[in-house]
Structure 1
Amino acid sequence: MALPFQNVYIHRKVAEASSKPCMICFRPSTSVLITSCQKDFFYICPSHLNDRGFATAVVDEAAEAEKRKKEEMDKELEKLKQEFEEKQKRKEEKKKDKDKDKDKKEKEKAKVKDEEADKLKVEETEKAKTEQAVEAASFCEYNLHRNFFNVRQQKYREKQVAKRNMERLKNPLSFPAVPKGDPV
């Protein structure tokens, strides 16, 4: 018999309002494991995901290498931005020394530029934090232990059988017809 779905579950988070009981301990949980084909899903506590008797994480080496490379590039980009800002400040200082008459206007402009730079830094750091949070809670893949996977498959088959039975009950042609002849 063909498997209804593969033993590859993706970890996702849901809103607090959508939390449901964990499959194992029945405590409210916002973590969900769902198959890639979205045929099966269940709520699970994050602590159970770390249990080797329940599931093992699938490690994607290529994705990890990309993350490391991206982190290195982000660090280099931050260094370059800082160097550029320092150069800009030096240029502004030189201009201030040359133009004492325009000193007040430049101070105002420098303040505005510094405020804008600070806003950009704050926005970039917030953006980086949200990206890191998304990456940290990214859709990690897990393989369930053989016994738990068999239970999930069995529940899926039971749901399919119940669904077929309900369809049969709704169809009046599936019931036997009333006898038409005289009783003997």
Structure 2
Amino acid sequence: MSAPFANLYYKRAVATPRTCYICSKPTTTVLSTQPVVDFIYTCDTHLSDTGFVTLQAPSASPTPSASAEEIARIKSEWEAKQKKKQEQAGNDKKDGEDKKDDEKKDGDKDKVVSLKPASPAPVASGSTTPKHDKYALHRQFYTMRLTDHRRRRQQKEVDALAPKLSSTGLSVPKQMG
């Protein structure tokens, strides 16, 4: 059976202080797993203790970023293609319509052209991994966290199953005689 969560915790800051897992002092620093299955409130001083956690080195694979020149070149090519498409669509439609419809479409085209360059500008980054510091718990602390997690899961199963069990056999029968 594999572990329910990996030994990889991300350092995050929270607004509400809670007690530290080690020294019970109030702290706003929390270590949590990526899908938040487990979390530990710790003081910043404990994060430098190698007996508790070790800081994981950041990944060495830099993300390739496009230069401003490349972005401008691609943007201009895209705009040119969009203008050609609009002109072709406009030419096809103009053949069968009268001048009043043409004037309305020209006004609509100006509105569409002004809106389209604004739409590709907000580009969202595709990465969903947080940019926080990564830590790995010492193996004994990690084992304790796994044990606590397993115990909580088993207790939930017992609590869910207990009402379904019959109550017969719970009372001691009286002896005759």
Q: Could you state the TM-score of these two structures normalised by the residue count of structure 1?
A: 0.52
Which one of 27, 34, 45 corresponds to residue 29 of structure 1? 27
Give the drift of 1:164. Answer: 1.1
- Structure 2 residue runs without a partner (length 5+): 68-130, 171-175
Residue identity in the other structure for 2:18: K
Cα distance in 1 for residues equivalent to 2:166 and 2:17: 41
Give the drift of 1:167. Answer: 1.1
Cα distance in 1 for residues equivalent to 2:53 and 2:133: 12
Cα distance in 2 for residues equivalent to 1:148 and 1:31: 17
1:104 maps to what in 2?
A: none
Give the drift of 1:162. Answer: 1.2
Give the drift of 1:60. Answer: 1.3
Which one of 36, 50, 53 corresponds to residue 51 of structure 2? 53
Identity of aligned residues (%): 33
- Which runs of 4 or more aligned residues in structure 1 lie more than 6 Å from their structure 2 counterparts after TM superposition? none
SS in 2 for 1:62: coil
SS in 2 for 1:10: strand
SS in 1 for 2:45: helix
Pairwise CA RMSD of aligned residues? 2.6
Residue identity in the other structure for 2:9: Y
Instruction: For residues 110-145 of structure 1, give each alpha carbon's deviation from its aligned partner in whole angstroms, at most 9, with x where no partner exists.
Output: xxxxxxxxxxxxxxxxxxxxxxxxxxxx51110000
Residue identity in the other structure for 2:133: C
The count of aligned residue pairs is: 108
Cα distance in 1 for residues equivalent to 2:165 and 2:2: 28
2:144 maps to what in 1?
A: 151
Give the drift of 1:6. Answer: 0.6
Cα distance in 1 for residues equivalent to 2:21 and 2:141: 10
SS in 2 for 1:46: coil
